[in-house]
Structure formats: C-alpha cells, structure tokens
Amino acid sequence: MAFEPVIGLEVHAQLKTQTKIFCNCSTEFGKSPNANTCPVCTGMPGVLPVLNKQAVTFAIKAALATNCKIARESRFDRKNYFYPDLPKGYQISQYAAPIAEHGHLDIETPAGEKVIGITRIHMEEDAGKLVHDPHRAKSMVDLNRTGVPLIEIVSEPDIRSAEEAGAYLRKLHAILKYIDVCDGNMEQGSFRCDANISLRPVGQEEFGIRAELKNLNSFKNVEKAIRYEIERQTYVLEEGGQVIQETRLWDPNRNRTASMRGKEEAHDYRYFPDPDLVPLIVEKDWIQEVEKTMPELPDEKKARFVKDFQLSEYDAQVLTASIELATYFEETVKPLQNIKQAANWTMTTLMGMLNAKGLDITQSPVPAQAFSSLLLLLEKGSINANAAKTVFEEMAATGTPPEAIVKEKGLEQVSDQSELEGMVDEVISDNPDEAEAYRNGKTKLFSFFMGQIMKKTRGKADPKVVTPLLKSKL
C-alpha cells in the first residue's frame, strides 16, 4: 500500500528584545550562569510579571509577515509541569487565546508554489537550562534563558515531504530575519523546530497517528529526521503494525530517531489563565504602527529583483533567500550596469568560494564593496574575465583590493589601439604562410592569429579591439 506523509511543524523563535518577557533582566547570550536573573524570572514568591511591550510588538510584526489575523484580546495561561529548569513550576504561555491565528506562508516546490497554513502564533517565556558536568555527580541549573521571550509558530498539517518541510522552515527563518525580530541562530537555539509526522494511505482523508520529533537543530537535520521517520513509520505500517503517538528524539550521530516518551507519559499541563497578568489588548493603531515599520519581505524583494534587474525567477529566488545575501547583492550592483553578470558572479564564483571555505555570506573574506569594484573593472573592460577570476581568488585569499592586485600582477587588459596594431602587424609578417592561406579562404585561421596576439600579451589583449584590427589587416 502507498502511504502519504502528513507533517506539521512547531517553531520556537526567540524574540530579539534587550530584556526578558516579564522582567528587566538582560537576554544577552553567553553570560556567566545565572548572571541574567532576578526574583521575577527565578520565580520567587510574591513577585509580579510585567509584560514587555517590545516583545508584543515583535510578535505582531511576525504575525503580519505571516498573514495572520491578530486577536484584539489574547491571554496568558500557566502551563504547569515540574522540571528543575523551571523554577516557578509553570511556564507562562498563551493557550486558549493566542495573539494571532489563521496565517499562511508560500513555499517553492518542484511542482510550483504551495501555500502552507499557519494555525497560530502565541507568545511564551523560555525555560532555563540544565548543565551536566561529566566530572561531577551533579547537575547545575542556569536560569539565564528563563523568561526570554519566544513566539511559537504552529503550522497546519499541510506539509507532505521532508523537502517541503525544509522549504517552509527556510522561508519562515528568512522572514523572521528580514523583519528583524529573531536573530535566527539555530546553534544557540534562537530558532528551534519540532516536527509532527504521520502517514495515511494515499486517498484517505483521515490523518494517521503521529510521532513528534524533537532535537532538530539544523535545516539538514530536520529533513534527515523526517525522511528517517517516514521510512520507519512506513515499515511499521507495512508490517501490519501501528504507529504509536509518542515523542522521539533525533540522534544526529546515529542518524535515527528514538523514543523519548510515549502517550501514557503525556503531560497534563492543567492550563489556566495566569491571574497575575491582565488580558493583552492590541488595538488597531498599535498594529498600524507596526505595519509602518514593515520592511520589504522576501517575496516582495524577489519580485523587485525580477522586475528591476531583469533577473530570472530562479536567480532572484537564490539571491533573496537570506537578508544578508540580498543586502550584499544590492550593495554590489549599486555602481554596475551589467546586473546579470553580477548575479552570475555572485551565485557561482562568490558562493562557490564561500561553500568551499564553509563560510556564510556574513563571513565573506570579500566584502560587497570590493566585489563590486572587481565587477566594475570587468564591466569597464579594464580586465577580462580570466583576469577577473585570478583577481577574485587573490582577494579571497588575502583581502587585497582588486585594483592593487591588477596593478601588482599586471593584469590590465590591453585595449590600446596603436599598441595592438603593432602586434597585429608583427604577427601577420611573422606568419606569411598562414596569412596567405587565410586570404585564400581558410578563415578558420582567424583564431590562430588571435591566439598569437593573446600569447604576446599573456592573455590580456582585449578581443573587442583585436578582432576588427586583424580582420582589416588580413
């Protein structure tokens, strides 16, 4: 029997506020353990949480960017459970009345554009972290992350493959970074994903039983874990077994998922409205204020690149995939005429170099300004394409500006009419037999003469000047 995967994703994104969601503690990453704590976020008796307005503004911005309806009134609930990294014994979250619902996000698939529904976005506080010291028979608690503001973005079960899940996550990640509400750092846990997966026989409406995958800390791992889980569930069902509802952890070292807890251990969180917090009211004018700060989103930027730069859909897609790359490209093309050439150089030469070095665009050893200067030299004909490649490699290796490399290596293209004319005369008189044969119709020999000129100039002659000279002299 053929099965169809059904996937829904839950993403936790840390909001880029300076301070925590219900107290004034700093959110700065990497401080010494428990440096960023106070009586509120350590859950001392008698303290009162006060909602961080900036966190709400960021949540509104995320909701607008994902086409959600923002609730005029939402509420904070207590999600009760016991764990040593949760000093209050409950997490403040939005359960019954989230800040936003009914959104969607469009992804590119091989079959065209696909709309993935977003069920809800809610705000909540993060928990702390346990530190397990292998040299001591005890664990320690670091509460710096306790109370850091998060939004959880829950998708509809509209995703049908690991590739679609990857595309959805990359798009959501790009959007949150474009609107500057989340730093997107997956290693530091600023953008985390849980994946829910079930299978159903093709043609069946009803969903199957799902497993929830946790510990997916990169796009690649999300895709790998989903692929593994689809295979595992297919095997279970084909053997006549049943998938059990459970939470499974992805083990990146062994490339498999393993059961963490089953349904029988599922939590009853005993949600109830937090009596310390009043309902959150978001009036229209607040939403309008946030709308005014909304930058160009990935889809809009892509459309503009197609229209203004006459780039293909594909090129525009690649170049707008992250805000950093898009900004780099826009900086690069500022003084240029030949945008298509700049796009090709960015996507092949620049990105090829970054891939080879394992760097991302923000770590590029060639800054946009220098890359732009190089392409300008190429565009003006000061150097030819071969020389430009040589210069680029040197720039990537040493960080030297392109003009200096061109001078130092003597790579300027020879375009001087009289200089090249002299060489053309020489080459013709040095090769009288070939010249004769050319005149008698063996026009293929033209490239022989061009080759001779290139030899004399060590590849630096400008073919646009040499060609007419050779033609007329021959």
What residues make contact with Zn ion under the rule CB under 5 A? 23, 25, 38, 40-41
Instruction: CB nearer to ligand ADP: give 6 or 437.
Output: 6
Choose the contact partner of 174 out of ligand ADP, Zn ion, none; CB within 5 to 8 A by kind: none
Choose the contact partner of 377 out of ligand ADP, Zn ion, none; CB within 5 to 8 A by kind: none
Q: How far is CA 25 from CA 43, 74, 330, 358, in A?
A: 13, 24, 37, 35
CA dist., res. 76 & res. 280, Å (int): 8
- Identify the three-state secondary structure at position 338: coil
- State yes or no: residue 180 binds ligand ADP (CB under 6 A): no
- State yes or no: residue 6 binds ligand ADP (CB under 6 A): yes
Identify whether the C-beta of residue 192 lies closer than 8 Å to the C-beta of residue 11. yes
Instruction: CB nearer to ligand ADP: give 49 or 208.
Output: 208
Q: How far is CA 263 from CA 190, 211, 232, 247, in A?
A: 28, 10, 18, 8
Choose the contact partner of 156 out of Zn ion, ligand ADP, none; CB within 5 to 8 A by kind: ligand ADP
Instruction: CB nearer to Zn ion: give 23 or 193.
Output: 23
Q: Which secondary structure element, helix H or strand E, spans residue 280, and what is its range? A: strand 280-281
Choose the contact partner of 85 out of ligand ADP, Zn ion, none; CB within 5 to 8 A by kind: none
Instruction: CB nearer to ligand ADP: give 18 or 259.
Output: 259
Instruction: CB nearer to Zn ion: give 14 or 332.
Output: 14
Q: From the list 16, 171, 210, 301, which residue makes contact with ligand ADP (rule: CB under 6 A)?
A: 210
Q: Where are the alpha helices (DSSP H) in 239-297?
A: 284-292
Q: How far is the CB of 351 from ligand ADP (least distance, A)?
A: 33
Choose the contact partner of 198 out of ligand ADP, Zn ion, none; CB within 5 to 8 A by kind: ligand ADP
Q: From the list 81, 83, 207, 235, which residue makes contact with ligand ADP (rule: CB under 6 A)?
A: 207
**How many CB atoms sit inside 10 A of residue 40's CB?**
19
Choose the contact partner of 176 out of Zn ion, ligand ADP, none; CB within 5 to 8 A by kind: none
Q: How far is the CB of 156 from ligand ADP (least distance, A)?
A: 5
CA dist., res. 361 & res. 137, Å (int): 43
Instruction: CB nearer to Zn ion: give 23 or 316.
Output: 23
Instruction: CB nearer to ligand ADP: give 94 or 198.
Output: 198
- State yes or no: residue 196 binds ligand ADP (CB under 6 A): yes
CA dist., res. 122 & res. 56, Å (int): 10
140-159 residues near ligand ADP, rule: CB under 6 A? 154-157
**Of 112, 111, 116, 122, which Cα lies nearest the Cα of 67?**
116
Identify whether the C-beta of residue 101 lies closer than 8 Å to the C-beta of residue 68. yes
- State yes or no: residue 97 binds ligand ADP (CB under 6 A): no
- State yes or no: residue 437 binds ligand ADP (CB under 6 A): no
Instruction: CB nearer to ligand ADP: give 207 or 272.
Output: 207
**Of 358, 297, 353, 292, which Cα lies nearest the Cα of 322?**
297
Phi, psi of 400, deg, nearest 5: -70, 140
Q: From the list 197, 225, 378, 423, which residue makes contact with ligand ADP (rule: CB under 6 A)?
A: 197
Identify whether the C-beta of residue 46 lies closer than 8 Å to the C-beta of residue 133. no
Select from 1-9, 286-294, 352-360, 406-414 the region that touches ligand ADP (CB under 6 A): 1-9
Helix 53-65 vs helix 162-178: crossing angle, to nearest 10: 130
Q: How far is the CB of 9 from Zn ion (least distance, A)?
A: 30
CA dist., res. 107 & res. 117, Å (int): 11
Q: Which residues pair with 356 in a beta bridge?
A: none
Identify whether the C-beta of residue 277 lies closer than 8 Å to the C-beta of residue 78. no
Total number of residues that touch ligand ADP (CB under 6 A): 14
Q: How far is the CB of 38 from ligand ADP (least distance, A)?
A: 30
| DSSP 8-class letter at 131 | E
CA dist., res. 280 & res. 350, Å (int): 47
Q: How far is the CB of 61 from Zn ion (least distance, A)?
A: 24
Burial category of 15 from C-beta neighbours within 10 Å (exposed 0-12, middle 13-18, buried 19 and up): buried
344-383 residues near ligand ADP, rule: CB under 6 A? none
41-80 residues near ligand ADP, rule: CB under 6 A? none
Choose the contact partner of 23 out of ligand ADP, Zn ion, none; CB within 5 to 8 A by kind: Zn ion
Select from 123-131, 165-173, 195-203, 349-357 the region that touches ligand ADP (CB under 6 A): 195-203
By the criterion CB under 6 A, which residues form the site for ligand ADP?
Answer: 6-10, 154-157, 196-198, 207, 210
